[in-house]
A and B are shown apart, each in its own frame.
Chain A
């Protein structure tokens, strides 16, 4: 699965060759340093939709950029430069990504000491759109709703958007750096903090990576409970998203009802697992809570009721013509652009790209179950809403099947706290492919790379905007519903 290529230029160019092939998808590009402080670049590529292949190469000087071949590489290479100071020659947009103008250009926190960084006064240049009647509308980073910070700069003519430029990473916390030198068991808490509403996906992805490092046999019962948690998290996210989409078009009845449905699921989680968002449930070696047979039955009933209520609301939404009018043909992300930017998750499936880690790279309990992957081809807000509605039903079914046949046995096995290896693990989070790559040396984490679906999908949002009116942006943005924190890390 992992190939270390000895020679700098040749190694990178082999990765670029592979990326230019038709049957490959860029998953991630990230850096690392080995024990002798030599920098490495890792290309993680999915081949034939079934296999993750990692090509790694030591780096001494600048490397050729993959962006001209795969536009999806753009942000990864900018991140690579910010973190490791690796130059990517031929990159069309070499501006810093993670760091804003207050960060000195020559400090790269993954290789330099970043504990005391002087305040710099740089300048950031937004793309300028010229022409008669072109106006710039800056929005954010502080928004009116209770949401995370991000800056959007629209170039508009009247109400029509010509160009949208994103500026994120206001919540960049150096999470990948934070993982360095932490103990294996402490890593879960960091992983859970990456993206609040997807915390269980992050926790499971991290735990599975650790379990892969140490080849820990996770008990089947724990794997089943993890599946329940992952699918419940997906339901919560999708139900909230569909409700929020209605709220954005002023259709308040489903917005209020979905909030209520979501709350019943959160309260059920609190009742049976002691945590509304499943924090602290997944740990390396299994899970910390078990369900009795009666509890499993009751939990399943609550989930079924919630799903039935939601399906009723979904019918109302899809049959209301004023809502259809708002959703249809709004914010189209074409399949071609989605493919070039290697978009993942519901946004990809709504644009005709059938990707799902649960089916393509199953782990844990997913190896034993059949997962339906819905797909729509229009790539508009309606398609993304439909994907979420369909997936909620599928998740309900998965939860019920799993709860009915919970394997017997324990839910937790001890983890050896020493050893050295690298491993990766992928999980289909509600937003799409979430991947952790960890390197353990003597029981300590020396590198943890998080490929978050939000980091992957944010660059696609501006390309769904041109031609739409600026008043539809909140709706289009909500239909992608990407995490700022998960992207910024």
Chain B
């Protein structure tokens, strides 16, 4: 039953990810006084792309075709580390929070290789910008997770979630706020949302993530698009699991899981709404201010680690 639940969690993350994207763009459209596309549109896009021809630039090597598969696979594996409905995940080992960070990094690394392999100047430009952003995001990502790990005395994500669930919300350590803030900033950079990157722009020169995937088409693009939708949802689920896990099922029964699913949907909906509101109320940062943005995340994460260590 636990195994089935864990498999169900991963499937939910993978299958609901495009819907999360669709809902975000629908809410943004509403805020902009537009009707917006259907929330099911990302599914249609992925299906459409899977049926299309995969064009590979003449100059590209096997890396170009390999990259989308690596990106998709690593994102899938990452999804299997995140508890969604109850305090355990399909995969979990001691120190898996480090693994999670570097699995995401591995996918991004291959995406950058694929972008440069495509041979267009935009791909190279996007890859170099992505390299900058991800280098700067890596430290705060790790440190923020580490501060939670120190507090929970465990190095596995599922362990941290279980520990947090055992805490009283009202006696919650304030350093968690620091770690949470740091992770939110990292999540924005990591998933390429406004104000770091604009996922809906058509202006090649301003793109980061989109510039890297310009040369991709067909099933390869479908994998990349789906993977980035999963990544967004997984990062949201991770934020929820680490910082507001209350409401997750403590026993594996149909009723508890049903309630947990509802609560989780509400929490994701709240995050989606917050994301859409933020994205509609600020402009994208100047490219050279992105390091400052992640500098703030780093400072917060370092403080979180220091305070957590001091308060043990």
Could you tell me which A residues sit within 8 Å of B by CB distance? 137-139, 143-145, 159, 246, 248-253, 255-257, 260, 320, 322-323, 325-326, 330, 469-475
Chain B residues numbered 183-220 whose CB sits less than 8 Å from any CB in chain A: 194-195, 198, 200-206
* CB proximity of B109 to chain A, nearest CB, Å: 21
Q: Which listed segment binds A: B2-10, B92-100, B276-284? A: B276-284
Lowest 10 CB-CB distances: which A-B pairs, in order?
A250-B284, A256-B32, A251-B283, A250-B198, A249-B283, A474-B203, A322-B283, A471-B287, A322-B282, A144-B202
The reply to whether A250 and B287 contact each other, CB–CB distance below 8 Å, is no
A159 to B201, CA, bound (A): 19
A260 — which chain B residues lie within 8 A by C-beta? 33
- Can you identify 24 A-B contacts, CB atoms within 8 angstroms? A138-B121, A139-B205, A144-B202, A145-B202, A248-B201, A248-B203, A249-B284, A250-B195, A250-B201, A250-B279, A250-B283, A251-B282, A252-B200, A253-B281, A255-B32, A257-B32, A320-B283, A322-B283, A322-B285, A325-B286, A326-B283, A326-B284, A471-B206, A474-B206
CB-CB under 8 A from A473, the residues of chain B are 205
Q: Name B's A-contacting residues (CB within 8 A).
A: 28, 31-34, 121, 125, 129, 194-195, 198, 200-206, 279-289
A330 to B125 Cα, complex, angstroms: 21
Report how far A251 CA is from B204 CA in the complex, Å: 17
Q: B203, A253: Cβ atoms under 8 Å?
A: no
For A137, what are the chain B residues with a Cβ–Cβ distance below 8 Å?
121, 125
Indicate if the CB atoms of A144 and B283 lie closer than 8 Å: no
> Which residues of chain B are near A253, meaning CB under 8 Å?
31-32, 280-281
B28 and A469 within 8 A (CB): no
- Residues of chain B with a CB closer than 8 A to A320's CB: 281-283
CB contacts (< 8 Å) of B283 on chain A: these are 246, 249-251, 320, 322-323, 325-326
Chain A proximity of B104: nearest CB distance (Å):
23
Contacts A249-B283, A253-B31, A469-B286 given: A139-B204 contact, CB under 8 Å? yes
Residues from chain B with a CB closer than 8 A to the CB of A248 are 201, 203, 206
A143 to B214, CA, bound (A): 12
Determine if A256 and B33 form an interchain contact, defined as CB atoms under 8 angstroms apart: yes
Instruction: Look across to chain B and name the residue whose beta carbon is closest to the beta carbon of A470.
Output: B205
Q: Chain B nearest CB: distance from A476 CB in Å?
A: 10
C-alpha spacing A137/B125, complex, angstroms: 9
Complex CA gap A472/B285 in Å reads 11
- Residues of A near B202 (CB, < 8 A) are 144-145
Which of B34, B198, B285 lies in contact with A256, CB distance below 8 A? B34
A251: which B residues are within 8 A, CB to CB?
A: 282-284
Cα of A145 to Cα of B279 in the assembled complex, Å: 22
A138 to B205, CA, bound (A): 11
Tell me the bound Cα distance from A253 to B33 in angstroms: 8
Q: For the complex, what is the distance from the CA of A472 to the CA of B121, rounded to whole Å? A: 17
Residues of A within 8 A of B284 (CB): 249-251, 322, 326
Distance, CA A268 to CA B200, complexed state (A): 31
CB pair B205 A474 closer than 8 Å:
yes
Once bound together, how far apart are the Cα atoms of A253 and B280, in whole Å?
6
A472 partner residues in chain B, CB cutoff 8 A: 206, 286-287
Minimum distance in angstroms from B203 CB to a CB of chain A = 4
Bound-complex Cα distance A138 to B119 (A): 13
Knowing A253-B32, A257-B33, the reply to whether A159 touches B194 (Cβ < 8 A) is no
Chain B residues whose C-beta falls within 8 Å of the C-beta of A252 in the assembled complex: 28, 32, 200, 279-280
How many angstroms between the C-alpha atoms of A9 and B121 in the bound complex? 49
Closest to B32 in A: A256
Question: Could you say which of B125, B203, B286 contacts A326, with CB atoms under 8 Å apart?
Answer: B286
CB distance from B209 to the nearest CB of A (A): 13
B288-A144 in contact (CB<8A)? no
Nearest to A152 among chain B residues (CB) is: B205
B205, B206, B286, B287, most chain A CB atoms within 10 A: B205
B222 CB to closest chain A CB, in angstroms?
20
**Nearest chain A CB to B289 CB, angstrom units:** 8
With contact pairs A139-B204, A144-B204, A322-B282 given, residues A250 and B32 touching in the complex (Cβ less than 8 Å): no
With both beta carbons as reference points, the residue of chain B lying nearest to A316 in the complex is identified as B281
Please, which residues of chain A bring their CB within 8 A of the CB of B289? 325
Chain A residues with Cβ below 8 Å from B285 are: 322, 325
Which residues of the other chain, A, contact B206 by a CB distance below 8 angstroms? 248, 471-472, 474-475
